Amino acid sequence: EPEVTQTPSHQVTQMGQEVILRCVPISNHLYFYWYRQILGQKVEFLVSFYNNEISEKSEIFDDQFSVERPDGSNFTLKIRSTKLEDSAMYFCASIESSYNSPLHFGNGTRLTVT
């Protein structure tokens, strides 16, 4: 069964550094998402992406964050200057068509900012 893949599984970085989290969504899916889960807390929406542009973003997704689909297969989340509070599990997800499709999640990237 096709799956969403995320790399790396764990990323440690120093405060102020830039990080790029990578995702390969399922190939025939059209909508892509990033969610964040601070340890032990709820799954929070960051951004959705469709047709090569952001379709929706949350208040969390400020100017420090950006997303890109550089080559038709990868979907990346960049955090420009990491803060301690960015430490979390970041999940990429994709769906086939629209709001009625279930989100297919990758296994997540655990980001630790020191």
Please state, in angstroms and as integers, the Cα–Cα distance from residue 55 to each residue in 15, 19, 60, 69, following that order.
Answer: 29, 23, 15, 13
Contact string (CB under 8 A) for other proteins, positions 93-112, x = contact: x----xxx-xxxx-xx-x--
55 makes contact with other proteins (CB under 8 A)? yes
Q: Which of residues 1-30 bind other proteins (CB under 8 A)?
A: none
CB-wise, 14 or 53, nearer to other proteins?
53
The closest of 4, 39, 37 to 22, measured between CA atoms, is 4
Contact 47, 67 (CB under 8 A): yes
Per CB under 8 A, residues contacting other proteins are: 31, 33, 35, 41-45, 48, 50, 55-56, 58, 89, 91, 93, 98-100, 102-105, 107-108, 110
